[in-house]
Structure 1
Amino acid sequence: MKLTKKLNLVLMTALLCISPIVTTMPAQITSAAHIEKNKLGFIGSPYIYKPSGKRYRYYNQIAKHLFTDTDGDGYSYLDGNDTTPITSFTGKTITIKGQKYYEIAKNAYIKAANVLTLNGKNIKKGKLTLNHKSKLYTKNGHQTNKELAADSIISYAGKVKKKTTCPKYFYYIGTNKYAYLPTKKINGHDYYALKNHLYVNAQNVGTINGEIARLNGVTYATVTKSSRTQTISNGLTNHKLVKGQKIKIDMAVAPWAEDFDGYIYHLHNYPKEYIDEGYIKIRNDLPIAGYNDMAYTYFKPINGNQITTYKVDGSTIAQTLTIKDNNQLTVDGKFYLWVEHDHQAELFYHILHSDSDSDQTADETIPDYSNSFVKASDIKITGGVKLASLNTAQDAQADNVIATDANKQELRQLFADGQQNLANAYTDATLKQNYNNALSIAASVIRSTTASRGDVKEATWLLKTTEDQLSDLYFEPWS
C-alpha cells in the first residue's frame, strides 16, 4: 500500500481508557450532616414524570420551578458539589408499572433509578441499575424465566475493586483511578453476579454504586436526528448519518470549544469523525477523553531534555531540540526513512511544528524544522493518538531511487491546488505556516532532478497532512 494511501490510518486510536478532565469526574459523596430532611440527589439530570409514568418535557414549568436556584444554573447542589444536583422530596413514593418513583411535587415524580442520595446518604451502594431490559441467567449460562425492566435496581454479589489501569467494565473514581466489579464469563459474554445467585449481562448495567458504568470498548449508538459527522474541531464532514441508523462508537470526547456543553462521540470505523451527543442515543457509556488526547500524539526524550532532530534523508539537523519545563512535544506521523549514511531504513516520527516551539528550541531558525524528525529509538510516546507506521523498512529501501515525472503527478496537482486552499483556510496562523512550508517543500521536490521516490511520497504525505490539519486541529498541543 502506498504511503499516501494510508493517511486515514494515522488517527486510528487504541481502545484504551483515557482519564477524563476534572470537570467530568464523577461525584464523590461527602459528609452531609447538614442536609435537610427529604432531599434527593441525582445521577445526572433526571427527567420528571407524570402519575401515569409518561415523561414531561424536561424544560417545563415544574422543572423550572423546582430546579432553578439563586445562581440561575438550574440546580441546588449537594454540599456545594457541582455535579450532584438535589431537590426536595415530599416523603412519598409510588409505584408506576412496577417501578418506584419519588414524589417531588404534585403530579411530579423522579424515577428511583435516577436517585443517588436520600438525605445525603448513597442509597445505590451495593446496587446496580439496568439501562436495558435484561434476562437473568444461571451460573451455567441457562436462561431463566426472569426478566427485569430497564431502570430496575438490583443488589450485586462480590466486591468492587480498584485499579490504576482501565478494565473492560469500570467507573471513574479519580484521575487514572478506576473501580470495577469483577465479571464472570458465560458463553463468551461478561456477566455480573447478583445476590440471588443469578447473573445479568454486564452490558445492560447503567450504574454501579450509583456511578456511571462504562465500557472500555466498542458500543452502538442509534442516530435520533439526521446529521453530518464532524471533525475533532467541530468542522462538518460530507459523511451523512440518517435517523434510525446504527453506528459504532468507542470514545466520549470533551471538545476544545469552551461553549460546548457535553460530549462528541468518536466513530469507530471512521478514525477522524465524530458525532454530537445531541444526535444519537448511546447503548453504553464510554471512557472519556479530552480534545488533546484525541488530536495529538505526545512524546518525551528517553534521556534528558534534549534530542537530536533529522532531515527527511536521515541526516542530522545542526541544532538539538530542547524541551523545557517537562513539556511534552507532539508528532503527527510515523514511518521508515532510508538513511543513506548507514545504508539502512530506520523508524522515525515526524514532529508537529506548533506556535509554542519558540519556547522549546535553542534556535528558532533550525533548518527544515517544519519537516524534521526524531528517531523512534530516542523517544517515548507518552499519550494521545496511537500512530500506525505508514510504510515498512522494505518500502523505504525500495523507494530509494530517483523519482520519475509520473511519480510526481499527484504532488504536482496538490501543489497546484495549494494556494487556493491556503487562502480559504480560517485557522491558526501556525497551521497556515505549516501548510505554506509544505507547499515550499513540495515545490522544491517537484523541481529537483535528484529527489527520490521516497522524498516525493513524504512531501505528498506532508502536504496532505498539513492541509487536513487546517480544518482538523485547534492548536493547543502542549500538555
Structure 2
Amino acid sequence: MQKNKFILGLAAALVLTTSSMLLPSNNAQAAQKETIHVNYSSIYDSKGQFLKSYPGVESTTDVKNATFTTNGKIKKINHKFCYSIGKGGYLPISDVVSLNNLGTLNLSKNTRVYNKYGKKLTYFAGQSASLKKGMPVNYAGKVKPLKNADGKKYFLLNKDYTFSYLPYRKIQGQYYYSLGHGGYIKASNVGMIDQLQVCVHSVTARADKNQSVFDDHGKITKEVLKSGQKITLDRYADTPELLGHSEDGDDDSCFYRIRGTNKFVILETDEVSGNLLPFTRFMHVRATQDANEYDNLGRIFVRHFNEVVKQGTTNNSNPSATVTAGSATQAQTVAKTETPQIKQGEDVAVTRELYLWVPAEQKAELFYELRDNDYASDITRLFIKASDFKYNNFGPQLKPENTVASAKEANNGLASTSDKKSLGDLIAQAPTIEASDKYRLSNERSSYDYYLKQAKQVYDSDIATPEDVSQALTGLQDAQNKLNGAKVVVQDLQHITAQEADKIVTLVYTSIQGKYIGKIPQVTFNQDRTELDLIDNGVKQKLNITDYAEQAK
C-alpha cells in the first residue's frame, strides 16, 4: 500500500565512538565514502534515464538486494534526489534501507535535529540540522524485543508479528530518538527503523466527505460519517484481510477500524498520519521450509499451461513438451508444467484446517486451505500441509473441522453428476436473484457474489468431492437466504419526509457498495426532496427515486 516516491535523503554515517555524523553535501571536500543498501531500486544516468548497464548488476531497471558505495554526494535529477554511486550511475535516496551497515531509520516527515533540551539546532556535526522526508539516518542505541507493545508509545512490528522497540527519550513532552553526539529527532517523524514500520496505538483523522461505515466483514452499514467528522482509528486492514479477496481500485486505500468498535471506514492511505497495527479475520502461517501446494484430493498441485515462444526456442523446463507449428510470426506454443511452491519464511493466510487423505502416503494429514489462490482458473481450492508451517502470531487460530478417521473414510472420493444436481439448480437461480430488489438493495450482496463464484467453480470442477459440493451448496444457500434488500416504504412519493429521505440515501449507499472502493460519492436530495442525485468527482447523476422507494399501499 505504500507508494514509491523519489525524495531527498540523508547520507549519514554514524559511528558510536569518536567519529562525527556526516550529512549529505554537494561540497566535494565534505563528501566521504559510505555504503548503502537497497532492496529494490533502479539505476539512472545524470539525465534521469535508465543507465544502459552497470558493473555487477544484471538489470539497471530492476535492482534487487544490492549494496553500493557512494561518496555521499546528492544530485537532483528531474526532481528526484539521488546518490552518486560512480560509473555514471545514480540511485534514488528514498530507496536506501541501510546506511553503512548500521542501524538505520527513515524519516516520514521533514524534521530538525534537536539537542537534549528539546531546542532546534541550526547545525549538527558541522552541517545543516534540517533533514528532509525520506532521508535514511543512522541511530544510536539498540533495538530491543517486547513481549507486548501496550506500554510503549512507539514500537516496531516484526515480520513474525512480534514486537520490538528502539528506546526513546521524553523531552519537553515530546518523544525523541537519539542520533548520538547530543542529537535527537522526533520519534513522530520516523516511519521505518531497520526496514520495520514504527507503529502507534491510535491516530486521529477527519472524514473529508460523507463516509460509509462498514462492519468487520467489509459489509456496508446504515451508519454514515459526516464530512469533517473527527474519528480515532486503532487498526488498518487491507481489503483481503477484511473481505477475504481483493477488489479493483483498492491499491491506494484500505479499511481503518474506529477505536473501541468493530466498525471500519475506507480512507486513502496518505490521509492517515502514523502506522497502525494490522487487523485480519484470517489465520496467518509462515512456511518453515519450501512447501508444496496440494489439491483437495491430497495430491501435489502441478500446473499445466501453454506458453507462446519464438520459433526454435528450446523448452528447457520440459524438453519432451508438445510443440505446435509456428504461425507466420514465427511463434510456437509449448506445453509446460510447473509445481508452485511457497518459499521458506513466506506468510500466507488460511481459511480452514482439516484432515485430507494423501494417496501417495496412504494416510490422513492435517492441511490448511489457502485463502488466496493465484491459479483459480486451474483449480478451485488449494491446500498446504500444516507440518510445513507454523502460526505467525496474526489472526484467530483455527481448529480441525474433521478427524483422521473421517478423512480416511471419505478418502476424498469424487462427486458424481447426481451429487451436483442440487448445486446446479441453485446456481441456475442466479440471474433471477441478481435482478431482484432483494439482491440489488442488500448489504449482503458481496457475500452472495463470493459464494456464487465458489459454487460455480465447484460445479465445473472435475476433482470436486461430495464434501466440496455440500459446502458450496450450503454456502450459496445461506448467502441467498441472507439477501435482505427492500425498497423504503414512504407515505407519499410526492412529499417525502426528511426521515424517509435519510433512509433512501442510506439505501443508495448500500446499493453501490463495492463499486467505489476508496472514493465513496455523495448522495443527496434537493431542497424539496423531489430529486435524488449521486455526485461522483463533481459529476452529477440523477437517480430514479422509485428504484429505492415505494409508496405505502
Q: TM-score range by the shorter chain?
A: 0.3 to 0.5
Structure ranking higher in helix proportion:
1
TM-score normalised according to structure 2 size? 0.36
Which structure ranks higher in relative contact order (CA pairs < 8 Å, sequence separation ≥ 6)?
A: 1
